[in-house]
Structure 1
Amino acid sequence: MSERTPEDVSDSIRYQGKAIDDSEWIPRFLADQETGVLGLVADDDPHLVTQLFVYDAAAGAIFLHGAQAGRAHDLVTTSTQPRASFTTSEQGRYVPADQPVNFTVEYSSVVANGSIDVLSDREEKRRVLELFMEKFAPHLTSGEEYDPIAAESIDRTAVYRLDVETWSGKSGWADADRSDTYDLDAVSDDQ
């Protein structure tokens, strides 16, 4: 495990039957997901942004990037101690039940909380942006299929570091051979 492993608070999940108790599951799940939702708050007004992300286990941090302008950037850079939440999930089939209130859906999710900041060091930003390229373009090589990341590109990009202090994971999947589960798109197309 990493030097900076966040505190797992999955045991505080209301429905313990779906709580994750495997310490390696959350980092593995984060590594496999592509997008997540960053949550920030200003003056009791929530601001949510869906973004690509990378999780760096050695740093115990979730990294995101964007423009050096806009509401998220302003919320992070003008707050004295900015805090953030982040969530990512995957969804499976719908699972019917005898009563509509008991219908559910297969899913896995992680919620992470911690402090957030904008990186200022160019080489650290480069390192993180290269992590993005490794995750989202693993089949391409810098200097061959695309130009190395230019200093000007790094300088105009905001790279956010969410130092994860706590996280929790949930997962609930029906048996693979259960015959009454369904894909909503498939049944909607039939209507």
Structure 2
Amino acid sequence: MPKVWIDDESIIRDFLQKQAVGVLGLAGNGVPYCIPVNFVYHADLNRIYLHSSNTGQKMEVIAENPDVTFLVYEVEKLVTADQPCNFAMRYLSVVVRGQARVLEDPNKKAEVLTMLARKYSNKPGALPTVTPLQADAVAVIEISIDQIHCKRNVDP
């Protein structure tokens, strides 16, 4: 089960831009908390953005401790064998460590929400932009990336 560390920024960027779901890892009161989220990756700014309700556990934990981990992965295939201990999973994963903050600027929130909507829409060009007034209804979280690691488990 050889693992290959990938440092090619174009592979990491393309992978993050095409994936639909990431797992946000937080820790509040010494208790880990992980939740799947939709996200958009802005490579030029080295940021990940996600949206959230304005209240709830995620928002409380970020206010207490902005240190986050963000995981995105894709299972490529399961390798079976005659012996259970020889099974293996082929995958690509990206793990980000960074700082989360809640955006306050309604114009920036609207810009990010428009990017999110267009990422997930089957008709991105047909969608109107989100207005700052609409953006006030939700929270937008920005993760500034401190570290990023990409790994692939490949066939020998």
Alignment of 1:11-50 (within 5 A): 17-50=3-36
CA distance in 1, matches of 2:49, 2:141: 6
Give the 3 Å change call, closer, same or farther, for CA 60–138 of structure 1 in structure 2.
Answer: farther
- C-alpha RMSD of the superposition: 2.0
Tell me the equivalent position of 1:8: none
CA distance in 2, matches of 1:152, 1:22: 39
AA in 1 matched with 2:146? E
Q: Which runs of 4+ in 1 moved over 6 A?
A: none
CA distance in 2, matches of 1:71, 1:29: 28
Q: Secondary structure at the match of 2:9?
A: coil
TM-score by length of 2: 0.90
Q: CA deviation at 1:96?
A: 1.7
Tell me the equivalent position of 2:112: 128
Q: Unaligned regions of 5+ residues in structure 2, if any?
A: none
CA distance in 1, matches of 2:41, 2:7: 19
Pairs aligned (count): 155
AA in 2 matched with 1:44? G
Q: Secondary structure at the match of 2:130?
A: coil
Alignment of 1:75-90 (within 5 A): 75-77=61-63, 79=64, 82-90=66-74
CA distance in 1, matches of 2:10, 2:101: 26
AA in 1 matched with 2:68? A
Tell me the equivalent position of 2:57: 71
AA in 2 matched with 1:113? R
TM-score by length of 1: 0.74
Identity of aligned residues (%): 30
8 Å CA contact 2:110, 2:134 repeated in 1:
no
Matched, 1:158 2:139: yes
Matched, 1:172 2:156: no
